[in-house]
Chain A
Amino acid sequence: MNLESMYQDIILDHYKHPHGRGLREPFDAESFQVNPTCGDEVTLRLKLDGETVADVSYEGQGCSISQASASVLTDLVVGKPVGEALKTMDTFVELMQGRGQVEPDEDVLEDAVAFAGVAKYPARVKCALLGWMAFKDALVKTEGATA
């Protein structure tokens, strides 16, 4: 097994130098997600400005995959319309659940293409999706609040 295929430099860089980390005010919704098999945790806050993702801030503890994935998430969704952020999320989820058979779309996923290698390890897919699940949950909560 080639460790480098999972731990690409992009992932290790995001792990060691995470983007957008820390919990910030103001926020519209907060989500706490946990992976019960390994105890990885992430708390994520979402601030919307109309239909645009104004800010995503987060705090968490976990492996390099889960923490780097949350860092990449902030790069991909902050400043984007909600609809586009959701589409990016769907593309990422499809990549992660593809058991390594899905060709990543770099135009949509940017740094997140580095997670293609992780998709070959079913035990680690949940790690990569933890932050995204928190983002999705926070989004649902904001919809509930404005409905």
Chain B
Amino acid sequence: MTTTTAANTPLDVAAVRADFPILSRTVRDGKPLVYLDSGATSQRPRQVLDAERKFLETSNAAVHRGAHQLAEEATDAYEYARARTAEFVGADAGELVFTKNATEGLNLVAYSMSNAATEPDPAAKRFVVGPGDEIVITAMEHHANLVPWQQLCQRTGATLRWFDLTEDFRLDLSNLDELVNERTKVVAFVHQSNVLGTINPVEPIVARAKEVGALTVLDACQSVPHLPVDFHALGVDFAVFSGHKMLAPSGIGVLYGRRELLEAMPPFLTGGSMIELVTLEHTTFAPPPQKFEAGVPMTSQAVGLGAAVDYLSAIGMDKVAEHEHLLAEAAIAGISKIEGVRLIGPSETKDRGATVSFVIDGVHPHDAGQVLDSLGIAVRVGHHCAWPLHRVCQVPATVRATFYLYNTLSEVDALVDGVREAQKFFGVGA
């Protein structure tokens, strides 16, 4: 093993790891699991698993309906989770819509904007897009923040445009004022890239969007789990993130929307729960966030999200970010040192998260992933739902290691050694 100087991490990582039962298992014939795929989905601590189980064993019921005690407790638990999560991201509880995942949150906004075209309420007019209008994204978007906007353009005749990248894998904002102009209706962009690790500057983009009256949509899937994030301070109009990437269950995501926007925007899915008054001829809608939560919502998942927020808050997001920064520095240094390996992402660790993607000359990412897996190291290989970005970077696929609060410097060493092992197996490299 190569040695990395023990850094002064602000976390008691051993204590953190003890909270995650899965991290103590072995894989592939007794190898200790080195889990470097939290960017795809994170693991859950006992505190989250216990909260879900306790809810199901004591208070399970359909929320926002029923007059019995369990219904009351379930509704309280669901709304407590919303309030805690809102506080965690610098928002008001009434500004947070629970969705199935972040992808659904982005589709919700895109489809609500389509629905605005036929909505009789004049307040909805500001969401209408059509021919001549432009929607701006970036070349580094996850498909979830790309395809819904492409489809919205296809449905409405609007034009899709995008920010390119600079040589050092950051957003090229040199044409910001031209790209975001009076025709722009939406600027949708990622906070932290799920491939490059790049943390994008929100402030100049939001400032320019405000100047021209465009709505901003922030994909915060890879930032909320890893950094202190405050949506009010950032000034974005909408934002999304997923529970399962921040120690919470899958099946729950969050859409944040500024209150006045959620009030004016027409609904996407309709049905039970989201109504105010229904006749056979006509329906009026509940105020947000209920207006956007049709049907019986997920409950134990929401409770789990609240518990994950409690867990992360108790540790402190500033400490989580600092710990991950140390891991990112070590991983970037270790990977960059290997001959025949190229980092796909900024080599500078400022404004960069602990997402480390790379390619190995002569070893396809899929094969590298297989060798790493044989050593117990779980990474993601492929295009990570960001195919256009890979085309821009002129690589068909990458190997991606993503780190979280429970990862250690010795796991960084294991990754670096594993990459050398892959080179050796395929007879390439030094």
Give the interface size class of chain B. Answer: 10 to 19
In the assembled complex, how far is the CB of residue A5 from the closest CB belonging to chain B, in whole angstroms?
10
CB contact between A7 and one of B381, B383, B425 (< 8 Å): that residue = B425
Contacting pair B29 A38 (CB below 8 A): no
CB contact between B382 and one of A1, A2, A39, A65 (< 8 Å): that residue = A39
Contacting pair B373 A63 (CB below 8 A): no
In the complex, chain A residues whose CB is within 8 Å of the CB of B370: 3, 6-7, 121, 124
Contacting pair A65 B373 (CB below 8 A): no
Contacting pair A62 B396 (CB below 8 A): yes
Bitwise, A1-37 to B at CB < 8 A (1) or not (0) is 1110011000010000000000000000000000001
A1 in contact with B374 given A61-B396, A63-B367 (CB within 8 Å): yes
In the complex, chain A residues whose CB is within 8 Å of the CB of B425: 3, 7
CB contact between A39 and one of B28, B29, B371, B397 (< 8 Å): that residue = B397
Q: Is B366's CB within 8 Å of the partner chain A?
A: yes
Q: Is B126's CB within 8 Å of the partner chain A?
A: no
Contacting pair A1 B390 (CB below 8 A): no
In the complex, chain A residues whose CB is within 8 Å of the CB of B366: 38, 40, 62-63, 65, 124, 127
Contacting pair B396 A3 (CB below 8 A): no
Q: Is B258's CB within 8 Å of the partner chain A?
A: no
Q: Is A55's CB within 8 Å of the partner chain B?
A: no
CB contact between B371 and one of A3, A38, A121, A127 (< 8 Å): that residue = A3
Q: Is B387's CB within 8 Å of the partner chain A?
A: yes
Contacting pair B367 A37 (CB below 8 A): no
Q: Is B364's CB within 8 Å of the partner chain A?
A: yes
CA distance A127 to B381 in the complex (A): 13
Q: Is A64's CB within 8 Å of the partner chain B?
A: yes
Contacting pair B373 A41 (CB below 8 A): no
Q: Which residue of A lies closest to B383 (CB)?
A: A39
CA distance A7 to B363 in the complex (A): 13
Contacting pair B383 A38 (CB below 8 A): yes
**Chain B interfacial positions (CB closer than 8 Å to A):** 28-29, 364-367, 370-371, 373-374, 381-383, 387, 390, 396-397, 425-426
The 4 tightest CB contacts between A and B, nearest first, are A63-B366, A38-B382, A1-B28, A63-B364
